[in-house]
Amino acid sequence: MYDLNPDHEAVEQLVGLPVADVERDLILATLRETGGNRTQAANLLGIAIRTLRNKINLYQAEGHEVPEAVAPAAQ
């Protein structure tokens, strides 16, 4: 589990930011971390894949760059 103590430096940096912006940044960072794997990202975030897809569609419509899954190289 994460340390969400109010004294935690990372949490302090979020104070004053809109929750929607923090959520978007967390989702996009998780997608980058998973190489664009949406199923893995949804699992890490604890949300349904459908919810993640809906949020991705919204972010793309707003003009945000969303990491895409990289297909494995053909052998």
Q: Is the pLDDT higher at 58 or at 72?
A: 58
Give the CATH number for residue 33.
Answer: 1.10.10.60
Which band of pLDDT confidence, cut at 50, 70 and 90, is reported for residue 75?
Answer: low
Give the domain extent around 35: 9-61
- Whether 74 is covered by a domain: the verdict is no
CA dihedral 48, 29, 21, 51 (to 10 degrees): -10
Whole-prediction pTM: 0.80
pLDDT in tens, 6-60: 667 878 888 899 999 999 999 999 999 999 999 999 999 999 999 999 999 999 9
The separation between CA 37 and the C-alpha centre of its own chain, rounded to angstroms, equals 11
What domain count does the chain have?
A: 1
Distances (CA, A) of 59 to 17, 18, 27, 75: 17, 15, 10, 34
For residue 73, tell me if it sits in a domain: no
Does residue 70 lie in a domain region?
no
Q: What is the pLDDT of residue 49?
A: 98
Contacts of 55 (CB under 8 A, 6+ apart): 23, 24, 27
